[in-house]
Amino acid sequence: MAVLDPVAAAVAGELALLEPSVRASRAESGRLLDPEFTEVGASGRRWTRDALLDAITDMDDVAALDAQGTPCVPQGVRGVLLAPGIVHLTYELASGGRHVRRSSVWRKAPDAVLWRLYHHQGTPVPPEHR
């Protein structure tokens, strides 16, 4: 098995979480979420890992699909290794007139195989700030 650099591993996890097939599966989504996961969604709602996993398969999430039902492609994905085992990602998604800036913190325990999403935030961007 090839070992990805930390930023590439976090980007791969982030892209996987945007895939409809992963979002449709509580097990697959849960595999990528840290046990202490939290989120502040673009709506302003705060999410815990359990609350998100309970809702994710029913979400009509603009972050995952565009108006035609095809997966959205993140733009301007940037990542930085903040410390061993901690990666910060930023990117933007646009769909159906909605534009959201996203920020994710991924972490990997020293003895873990997978990088997992620890915290995520989505911030809507009004047209005058795009």
Tell me: the pLDDT tens digits for 76-126? 999 999 999 999 999 998 877 788 999 999 999 999 989 999 999 999 999
Q: Find, among 17, 13, 11, 6, the residue nearest to 86 by Cα.
A: 6
The predicted model gives 46-51 an average pLDDT of 95
Question: Distance between CA 93 and CA 71 in Å, rounded?
Answer: 11
The pLDDT assigned to 98 comes to 82
Is residue 96 within 8 A of residue 66, CB to CB? The reply is yes
What does pTM read for this prediction? 0.87
